[in-house]
């Protein structure tokens, strides 16, 4: 007579199943991550706590190599790895940004640099980072109009407003792009197309970390607070976690510390903020299941 398996065995199996469902698949062996790690190491960063992995539900993210304790440093990315407006001004684009009037915005400077470096391909010093960036985005501003029409009315209105804003931003920047023609052999319109600009805008909008406002005399007065943080920006969002994240002036690094414990081989998250799912979809292109900040928007006139 076969031995009967009891309740303890069933519970253990369920736990193992849930664990295997949540466990990430290590992707550090992939060529793009090997090149990225080499590039980061040359800029004085080498991570010992995290590895790139792919997770069910969240996709690509970062997995803990060791158990992480509350208050422990998760990641400390040197300023030399950050892509900021200072990076742009020090580059070949600097003289064009400096002399252009009215002064370009910090966001325009970052988007211009991304488009230009993406076009440079193998010649770009930022290629290892550009290679791991998404090729496309799922924010409503990137969706076809017929898809936007299917969204709930309040979200649809916000999506149309966002698209109009980006299109106007692109149109108002065309003269600045034309001023860069001496840097390129190809026609400037073929490089700084709306599609290329939209990709750059989404890259900054969805992936930038916050820095204290800086003042660049050659840029407009809009807040200069965005920085792209290679590798660090692989961390996915969870509304259920808390982290301490900021640029440390003393160490010259952007630092993230855990506010809770992580087990070995667990996905490590950060929180983008207490956003509802409409805000998450508009700004980042995804929604969060079991979001404690979820709410329902209704159109005016409903009763």
Q: What is the pLDDT along the chain (303 residues), one digit of tens a residue?
A: 555 555 555 445 444 334 444 578 999 999 999 999 999 999 999 888 999 999 998 899 999 999 999 999 999 999 999 999 999 999 999 999 999 999 999 999 999 999 999 999 999 999 999 999 999 999 999 999 999 999 999 999 999 999 999 999 999 999 999 999 999 999 999 999 999 999 999 999 999 999 998 888 999 999 999 999 999 999 999 988 888 899 999 999 999 998 888 999 999 999 888 889 899 999 999 988 888 887 878 766 544
- Is 130:117 a contact under the CB 8 Å cutoff? yes
SS3 state of residue 56: coil
Three-class SS state of 80: helix
Nearest-10 Cα torsion for 109, 110, 112, 113: 110
236 contacts 38 by C-beta, under 8 angstroms: no
What pLDDT was estimated at residue 5? 55
Sequence spans of domains, the chain? 25-82+230-287, 83-228
Q: What is the pLDDT of residue 24?
A: 87
pLDDT at 289: 84
Q: What is the pLDDT of residue 18?
A: 43
Structural fold of domain 83-228: set domain protein methyltransferase, domain 1 (3.90.1410)
Distance CA 228, CA 123 (A): 20
How many other CB atoms are there within 10 angstroms of residue 214's CB atom? 14
Contact 227, 237 (CB under 8 A): no
At 199 the pLDDT is: 98
Q: How far is CA 220 from CA 101, 217, 288, in A?
A: 10, 8, 35
pLDDT at 21: 47
Model-level pTM greater than 0.85? yes
- pLDDT score of 150: 93
Q: Give DSSP secondary structure letters for 86-132.
A: HHHHHSTTHHHHHH-SSPPPHHHHHHHHHHHHHHHGGG-TTHHHHTT
pLDDT at 20: 41
CATH of 25-82+230-287, one of 2.170.270.10, 2.60.120.10, 3.30.160.20, 3.40.190.10: 2.170.270.10
CA–CA distances in Å: residue 161 to residues 115, 139, 203, 299: 24, 13, 19, 16
Q: For residue 253, what is the DSSP state?
A: E
């Amino acid at each position: 007579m076969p031995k009967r398996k009891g309740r303890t065995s069933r519970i253990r199996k369920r736990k193992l199943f849930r664990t295997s469902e949540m466990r990430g698949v290590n992707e550090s062996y992939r060529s793009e991550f090997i090149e990225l790690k080499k590039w980061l190491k040359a800029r004085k960063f080498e991570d010992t706590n995290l590895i790139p992995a792919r997770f069910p539900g969240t996709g690509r993210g970062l997995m803990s190599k060791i158990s992480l304790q509350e208050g422990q440093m998760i990641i400390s990315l040197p300023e030399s790895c950050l892509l900021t407006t200072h990076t742009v001004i020090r580059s070949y684009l600097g003289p064009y940004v400096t002399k252009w009037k009215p002064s370009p915005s910090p966001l325009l400077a970052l988007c211009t640099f991304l488009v230009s470096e993406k076009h440079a391909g193998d010649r770009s010093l930022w290629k290892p980072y550009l290679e791991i960036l998404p090729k496309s985005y799922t924010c409503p501003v990137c969706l076809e109009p017929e898809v936007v029409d299917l969204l709930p009315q309040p979200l649809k209105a916000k999506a149309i407003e966002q698209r109009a804003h980006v299109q106007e931003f692109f149109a108002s920047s065309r003269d600045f792009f034309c001023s860069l023609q001496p840097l390129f052999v190809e026609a400037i319109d073929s490089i700084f197309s709306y599609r290329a600009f939209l990709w750059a805008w989404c890259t900054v909008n969805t992936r930038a970390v916050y820095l204290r406002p800086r003042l660049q005399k050659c840029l407009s007065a809009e807040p200069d607070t965005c920085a792209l943080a290679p590798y660090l920006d692989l961390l996915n969002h969870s509304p259920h976690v808390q982290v301490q994240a900021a640029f440390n002036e003393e160490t010259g690094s952007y630092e993230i510390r855990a506010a809770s414990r992580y087990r070995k081989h667990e996905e490590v998250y950060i929180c983008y903020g207490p956003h509802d799912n409409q805000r998450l979809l508009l700004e980042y292109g995804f929604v969060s299941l079991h979001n404690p900040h979820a709410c329902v928007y209704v159109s005016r006139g409903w009763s």
